[in-house]
C-alpha cells in the first residue's frame, strides 16, 4: 500500500466533511489536494505533522474573487506531495498561523503578508521582511491595494531596541561573508550571540511579478539570474514545469545532455562554495585553487551554451543547440581526470587542516527532528543523515537510468556539510562519466513546439535538486500566453532560516562558519 | 525614492601642484583599491577577474577592501534595489576622495533585464544615485570586459592609455 493511499484512508476516517482528491501526478506534480477551511486548517496541519510531513512551501495566489493560500507538504521517506488550499476573503483576508507547528512558516507568512496583505492570527512578529517601507501597496495583488494607514506602524521593518548588557550589530548587507547582500541583525552579549534575525529583500528583483508580465518564452532567461552559480539547474526546473504543463515530449538525447551539463554546473557551484567557505574562516588560498578548476568547467559550458555564468541553454522540448561530439566530450573527459586528482589535493589542503577542523567540527549541529519543522533540503539535510535527494526521490531528466549513491553525514555539523558537498563533487563526476557512456544519438529537440505557448488551464508543481536543495516552481495557467501566477520554492530560504536557531548562544566566529557552510545565494532567497 | 537626488558636488582641490598632481594621478591609476561590494551575478565575474586566470593584480587593482574607508574605487556589480540604494550611497560617501565608480553590468547601467512596466523595487541605473565614471555592459560582462573598463578608468585618470587596445581575432 503506497503512502498516498494510506493517507487518503486515514484522512477520510478523521475528517468526514473535508474533500480529499487525488490529482494526476504526471500532469500536476502533486498527489493529493485538500480544500481546508479556516476552522479546520489547524487540525489538518496537526494530522500532517503527526505523519512526519515537512512543509515544502507556503504562498498565496490572487484569483480576484478570492485569495487562495497554498500549503505544500511532502515526506522525507516517500514521495507524497499534498496541496492544502485555503480560500480567503479578498477584502479582509485573515488566516490562522501555522508557525507553532512548522517554524519556517513564520517567515513564509511574513512574506505572504507583505505581498498580499493577508493577516495571520497569532503570528509572533508580522513585520516587513522583503520590501522597502516606502512601497505603499501589496505588489503581487492583481488590483492596486494600498497598505491601510493604520497598519503602517505594524509594518515597520525590524528595528532593534537596545537593552542593558546587550548590543546590536549589523552583519551586512555589505559584508564579505554574507555572500551577497544578506543582512542579519545580531543581538550580542560580548562575543556571544543572543539572537539573530535575517532581514531580506536587498536584492528583491521581482521575478514572480515579472513572470505575470512576460510570456513563457520571455521568462526563460530569468531563472538563471535567480541562482547564478547553479544557473542550469534553475533553468531545468522551469523548462520541465512548462513541458509538463503543455505536455511536450523531450528526446532521450536532450535528457542526457541536460543531465551532463547540470552535473557540470553543480560541480562549478560547489567549487565556488569550496573557495568561499574557507575564505569565511580566514583561509584565502583554497579560493585560488577552486576558481582555477571552476574556469575549466566554464570553458566547457561556454562552448555549448554561449555564456560563462547565466546560462539559458534549455528550451521547451529540448536544447538550444547540440553538443559538439568531439570537443565537448573530449574536454569533459579531460576535466574528470584532472578533477579526480585535484580532489585528492583538496583533501590534503583543506580537509586535513587542523585549524579548519577545529573551526568546523561539532559546530552548528542540526538535528534530524528539525528537518520537518524547517523543511531544509540539499546538502544541509543530507548532512543530518537523511538521504533525501530529488534526483532519487522523483527522478527527472536521465537520473532515473543512472545509478548513483547519496552521500550522508552523521551529526549534521559544519564538517558534515563540508564532507557531503566534497563527496557530491565526486559523485557528480561519476554521473557525468556514466552519462557520456550512455549518450544516445538522435534529435536534440522536439520539432513542432509552438513559439507562443498557451498551456491548458491548471496548475503544476515541479521540483529538481539544485545545488542547494529542493528547487520547485509552481505555475498557475489561465490559458493565456503569460503565467497567471508563478511561485518559486527556493532551497536557500528554508536553509537560511535555521540560522537564528543555530546561532543562539554561540561565538560570532562560529556563527560565521555556520553561515558559510549553508552555501546560500541571496538573489535566490530574495527572488 | 525617484526624485530624491543623491548627487554629490565634486569640487576642484584648493591647492594644485602641476607636476606632482600628474605623478599622484599616475600612482593612483595604477593602484586602484576596489571595495568588496558584490551585489548580484556580476560579483561572481568580478571575483573571477581577481583570480589566477584573469589576474586583476597585473593592473594593480587586486586589493579588495571590505571597508569603504580604505577604498577609492567602487565596482557596482549587480542590481541596485530601492532597499539597497541608501546603503550604496552611504558607502560611496564613506569613501575618501578622490574616488571613482564603475557600473558593471546592465543592471547597474540601466536596470537591465529587470525593467518592466509596474516594477516597484528597482533603481534604473546606479547613475541616478552616484556619479559613474565607466560603464561596462554585459549580462554579466566577461572578466576581460571588467579589465578593459579598468584600463579605461586608468586612461580617464592619467590621460594616457598604458596598454594597447587588443585586436579582435575573429
Nearest chain B residue to A129, by CA: B83
Count other C-beta atoms under 10 Å from residue A326's C-beta: 8
Residue range B40-54, pLDDT digits in tens: 888 889 888 988 889
Among the partner residues B52, B84, B119, nearest to A181 by beta-carbon distance: B84
Short-list A58, A3, A66, CA closest to A31: A3
Q: pLDDT at position A307, please?
A: 87
Nearest chain A residue to B1, by CA: A134
CB of B26 within 8 Å of a chain A CB? The answer is no
Domain ranges of chain A: 3-154, 207-526
| Cβ <8 Å between B120 and A209 | yes
Give the closest-approach CA distance of B17 to chain A in angstroms.
Answer: 36
**Omega within 30 of 0 (cis) for the link into B168:** no
- Mode of pairing for the β-strands spanning B73-77 and A485-489: unpaired
- Best residue in A170, A177, A206, A520 to probe B by mutation, most B CBs within 10 Å? A206
Give the closest-approach CA distance of A132 to chain B in angstroms.
Answer: 5
Distances (CA, A) of A393 to A49, A76, A399, A459, A464: 20, 9, 10, 21, 10
Q: What is the reported pTM?
A: 0.90
CB of B78 within 8 Å of a chain A CB? The answer is yes
Nearest chain B residue to A302, by CA: B142
pLDDT category of residue B4 using cuts at 50, 70 and 90: very low
CB of B63 within 8 Å of a chain A CB? The answer is no
| Cβ <8 Å between B48 and A291 | yes
pLDDT category of residue B5 using cuts at 50, 70 and 90: very low
Short-list A75, A23, A12, CA closest to A49: A75
Give the closest-approach CA distance of A495 to chain B in angstroms.
Answer: 19
| Cβ <8 Å between B45 and A309 | yes
Query: How would you label A311-323 residue by residue, b for 16+ Cβ within 10 Å and e otherwise?
Result: bbbbbbbbbeeeb
Q: pLDDT at position B161, please?
A: 85
Output phi, psi for B101, to 5 deg. Answer: -130, 130
Q: pLDDT at position A156, please?
A: 53
Strands (E), A270-351: 314-315, 318-319
Short-list B100, B50, B73, B105, CA closest to A275: B50
Count other C-beta atoms under 10 Å from residue B121's C-beta: 23
| Cβ <8 Å between B81 and A205 | yes
| Cβ <8 Å between A291 and B45 | no
Res. B16: pLDDT tops 90 = no
**CATH 2.40.30.10 is held by the domain A207-526:** no
Among the partner residues A131, A210, A308, nearest to B142 by beta-carbon distance: A308
| Cβ <8 Å between B82 and A132 | yes
CB of B37 within 8 Å of a chain A CB? The answer is yes
Which residues have CB under 8 Å from B107's CB, separation 6+?
B40, B42, B78, B79, B80, B113, B114, B139
CB of B139 within 8 Å of a chain A CB? The answer is yes
Q: How many CB pairs under 8 A join A and B?
A: 104
Q: Which residues of A touch B113 (CB under 8 A)?
A: 221-222, 225
Short-list B121, B56, B117, B129, CA closest to B92: B129
Q: pLDDT at position B10, please?
A: 58
Q: pLDDT at position B2, please?
A: 40
Count other C-beta atoms under 10 Å from residue A412's C-beta: 25
| Cβ <8 Å between A131 and B83 | yes
- Write out the three cell numbers for A210: 515579472
Mean pLDDT confidence for B3-7: 46
Q: Which residues of A touch B119 (CB under 8 A)?
A: 206, 209
Chain A residues with at least one Cβ partner in B under 8 Å: 131-132, 134-135, 137, 139, 173-176, 179-181, 201-206, 209-210, 213-214, 221-222, 225, 228-229, 272, 287-288, 291-292, 295, 308-310, 523
Look-up of cell digits 585618470: B157
| B60 compared with B1, residue with greater pLDDT | B60
Q: Helix, strand, or coil here: A344?
A: helix
| Residue A20 near residue A8 (C-beta atoms within 8 A) | yes
Res. B99: pLDDT tops 50 = yes
Residue range A101-144, pLDDT digits in tens: 888 898 899 889 888 888 888 888 888 888 877 778 888 888 88
| Cβ <8 Å between A229 and B39 | no
Exposed/middle/buried for residue A239 (C-beta within 10 Å: 0-12, 13-18, 19+): buried
CB of B57 within 8 Å of a chain A CB? The answer is no
Nearest chain A residue to B139, by CA: A310
Give the closest-approach CA distance of B168 to chain A in angstroms.
Answer: 18
| Cβ <8 Å between A131 and B121 | yes
Mean pLDDT confidence for B84-107: 88
Q: Which residues of B touch A225 (CB under 8 A)?
A: 40-41, 113
| Residue B88 near residue B129 (C-beta atoms within 8 A) | yes
What is the DSSP secondary-structure string of chain B? Answer: -TT----------SS--HHHHHHHHHHHHTS--BB--B-SHHHHHHHHHTSTTT-GGGGT----BSSGGG-SEEEEESPPBTTTHHHHHHHHHHSPSS-EEEEESHHHHH-GGG--TT--SB-S-GGGTS--SEEE-SSSPPHHHHHHHHHHHHHHHHSS-SSPPPPP--
Q: pLDDT at position B167, please?
A: 82
Q: pLDDT at position B8, please?
A: 53
| Cβ <8 Å between B84 and A202 | yes
Taking the domain A3-154, which CATH number applies? 3.30.460.80
Give the closest-approach CA distance of B121 to chain A in angstroms.
Answer: 7
Each residue's pLDDT expressed in tens, for chain A with a length of 527 residues? 688 888 888 888 888 888 888 888 888 888 888 888 888 888 888 888 888 899 999 999 998 889 999 999 998 888 888 999 999 888 888 889 988 888 889 889 988 988 888 888 888 888 888 887 777 888 888 888 888 776 666 655 555 565 667 778 888 777 766 677 888 888 888 888 888 888 888 888 889 888 888 889 889 989 988 888 889 999 999 999 999 888 888 899 999 999 999 999 999 999 999 988 888 888 888 888 999 899 999 999 988 888 888 888 998 888 888 888 888 899 999 999 999 999 999 988 888 888 889 888 888 888 888 888 888 888 999 999 888 888 888 888 888 888 889 999 888 889 999 999 999 999 999 999 999 998 888 888 888 888 888 888 888 999 999 998 899 999 999 888 889 999 999 999 988 888 888 888 888 888 888 888 888 888 888 88
Among the partner residues A214, A272, A523, nearest to B40 by beta-carbon distance: A523
Here the ipTM equals 0.85
| Cβ <8 Å between A180 and B53 | no
| Cβ <8 Å between A209 and B119 | yes
Q: pLDDT at position A318, please?
A: 86
Among the partner residues B48, B87, B139, nearest to A310 by beta-carbon distance: B139
Amino acid at each position: 500500500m503506497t503512502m498516498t493511499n494510506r493517507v487518503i484512508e486515514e484522512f477520510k476516517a478523521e475528517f468526514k466533511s473535508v474533500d480529499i482528491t487525488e490529482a494526476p501526478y504526471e500532469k500536476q506534480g502533486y498527489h493529493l489536494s485538500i480544500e481546508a477551511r479556516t476552522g479546520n486548517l489547524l487540525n489538518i496541519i496537526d494530522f500532517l505533522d503527526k505523519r512526519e510531513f515537512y512543509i515544502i512551501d507556503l504562498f498565496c495566489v490572487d484569483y480576484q474573487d478570492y485569495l487562495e493560500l497554498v500549503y505544500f507538504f511532502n515526506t522525507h521517506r516517500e514521495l507524497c506531495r499534498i496541496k492544502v488550499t485555503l480560500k480567503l476573503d479578498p477584502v479582509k483576508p485573515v488566516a490562522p498561523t501555522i508557525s507553532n507547528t512548522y517554524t519556517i512558516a513564520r517567515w513564509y507568512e511574513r512574506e505572504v503578508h507583505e505581498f498580499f496583505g493577508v493577516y495571520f492570527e497569532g503570528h509572533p512578529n508580522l513585520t516587513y521582511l522583503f520590501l522597502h517601507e516606502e512601497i505603499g501597496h501589496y505588489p503581487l495583488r492583481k488590483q492596486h491595494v494600498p497598505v491601510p494607514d493604520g497598519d503602517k506602524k505594524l509594518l515597520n521593518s525590524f528595528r532593534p531596541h537596545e537593552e542593558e548588557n546587550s548590543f546590536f550589530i549589523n552583519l551586512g548587507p555589505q559584508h564579505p561573508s554574507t555572500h551577497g547582500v544578506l543582512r542579519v541583525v545580531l543581538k550580542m552579549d560580548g562575543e556571544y550571540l543572543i539572537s539573530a534575525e535575517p532581514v531580506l529583500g536587498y536584492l528583491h528583483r521581482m521575478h514572480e511579478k515579472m513572470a505575470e508580465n512576460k510570456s513563457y518564452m520571455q521568462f526563460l532567461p530569468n531563472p538563471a539570474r535567480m541562482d547564478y552559480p547553479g544557473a542550469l539547474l534553475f533553468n531545468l526546473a522551469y523548462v520541465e514545469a512548462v513541458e509538463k504543463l503543455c505536455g511536450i515530449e523531450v528526446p532521450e538525447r536532450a535528457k542526457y545532455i541536460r543531465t551532463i551539463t547540470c552535473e557540470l554546473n553543480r560541480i562549478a557551484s560547489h567549487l565556488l562554495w569550496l573557495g568561499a567557505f574557507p575564505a569565511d574562516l580566514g583561509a584565502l588560498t583554497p579560493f585560488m585553487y577552486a576558481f582555477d578548476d571552476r574556469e575549466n568547467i566554464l570553458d566547457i559550458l561556454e562552448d555549448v551554451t554561449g555564456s560563462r555564468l547565466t546560462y539559458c541553454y534549455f528550451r521547451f522540448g529540448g536544447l538550444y543547440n547540440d553538443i559538439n561530439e568531439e570537443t565537448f566530450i573530449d574536454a569533459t573527459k579531460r576535466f574528470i581526470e584532472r578533477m579526480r586528482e585535484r580532489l585528492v589535493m583538496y583533501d590534503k589542503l583543506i580537509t586535513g587542516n587542523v585549524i579548519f577542523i577545529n573551526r568546523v567540527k561539532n559546530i552548528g549541529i542540526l538535528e534530524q527532528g528539525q528537518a520537518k519543522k524547517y523543511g531544509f533540503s540539499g546538502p544541509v539535510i543530507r548532512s543530518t543523515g537523511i538521504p533525501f535527494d530529488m534526483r532519487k526521490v522523483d527522478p527527472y531528466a536521465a537520473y532515473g537510468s543512472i545509478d548513483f549513491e547519496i552521500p550522508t553525514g552523521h551529526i549534521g555539523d559544519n564538517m558534515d556539510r563540508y564532507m557531503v558537498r566534497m563527496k557530491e563533487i565526486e559523485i557528480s563526476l561519476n554521473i557525468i562519466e556514466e552519462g557520456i557512456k550512455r549518450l544516445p544519438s538522435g534529435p536534440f529537440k522536439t520539432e513542432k513546439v509552438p513559439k507562443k505557448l498557451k498551456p491548458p488551464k491548471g496548475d503544476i508543481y515541479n521540483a529538481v535538486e539544485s545545488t542547494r536543495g529542493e528547487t520547485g516552481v509552481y505555475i498557475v495557467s489561465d490559458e493565456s500566453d503569460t503565467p497567471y501566477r508563478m511561485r518559486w520554492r527556493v532551497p536557500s530560504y528554508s536553509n537560511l532560516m535555521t540560522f537564528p536557531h543555530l546561532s543562539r548562544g554561540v561565538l560570532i566566529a562560529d556563527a560565521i562558519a555556520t553561515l558559510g557552510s549553508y552555501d546560500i545565494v541571496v538573489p535566490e532567497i530574495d527572488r | 525614492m525617484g526624485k530624491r537626488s543623491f548627487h554629490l558636488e565634486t569640487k576642484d582641490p584648493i591647492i594644485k601642484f602641476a607636476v606632482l598632481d600628474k605623478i599622484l594621478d599616475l600612482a593612483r591609476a595604477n593602484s586602484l583599491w576596489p571595495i568588496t561590494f558584490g551585489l548580484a551575478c556580476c560579483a561572481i565575474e568580478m571575483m573571477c577577474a581577481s583570480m589566477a586566470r584573469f589576474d586583476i593584480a597585473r593592473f594593480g587593482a587586486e586589493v579588495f577592501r571590505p571597508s569603504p574607508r580604505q577604498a577609492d574605487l567602487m565596482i557596482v556589480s549587480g542590481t541596485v534595489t530601492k532597499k539597497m540604494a541608501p546603503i550604496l550611497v552611504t558607502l560611496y560617501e564613506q569613501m575618501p576622495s578622490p574616488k571613482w565608480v564603475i557600473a558593471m553590468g546592465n543592471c547597474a547601467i540601466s536596470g537591465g533585464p529587470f525593467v518592466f512596466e509596474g516594477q516597484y523595487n528597482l533603481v534604473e541605473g546606479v547613475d541616478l544615485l552616484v556619479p559613474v565614471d565607466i560603464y561596462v555592459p554585459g549580462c554579466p560582462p566577461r572578466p576581460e570586459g571588467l579589465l578593459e573598463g579598468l584600463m579605461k578608468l586608468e586612461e580617464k585618470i592619467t590621460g594616457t592609455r598604458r596598454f594597447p587596445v587588443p585586436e579582435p581575432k575573429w
